[in-house]
Structure 1
């Protein structure tokens, strides 16, 4: 397995960066943090634009700096990231608000 990002896009909100890129052969979104956020499988919630708030059990990387909110349903998350204008994520009592309309549109990402 590899964590080599071939093509990627990112957006930041406070201490979090939404990173979209190749991981283990498929395009996957994830949140990265400058500092350790914890461990295990924390509860999070997210919302694209004015859609419903979706509760989720996420996974944290071994080093505690990457949060995998979308585990297994990458295609749905990627479709919403491509079309969406805003993503809000709540982790514990902290909210992260990502402006998906800023900058260039999400480029096609090819994981080879």
Structure 2
């Protein structure tokens, strides 16, 4: 069975309300939404795991790997103006705040 994102949101809300008890979540979902297809108890665990994996993937996509030149430019910006903010540096150098050094 394929569920919409909206259905998955309701499932997660109920799963949280049931303190991550998948059996209780399954039963409560069926009680509240009698006309919908009802997932098995393991589906609640799967939806949570998928959401967590998506979040990790999104965080990884936002991470920009910086090179030595960028690192030098950041250090120079701070040397010139010690009170400069991370946002100002990121804007000036066209990088994000979420960066990792390329080792």
- Which structure has the larger Rg over C-alpha atoms? 2
TM-score, normalised relative to structure 2: 0.24
Greater fraction strand? 1
TM-score, normalised relative to structure 1: 0.22
Higher RCO by CA contacts (8 Å cutoff, separation 6 or greater)? 1
Greater fraction helix? 2
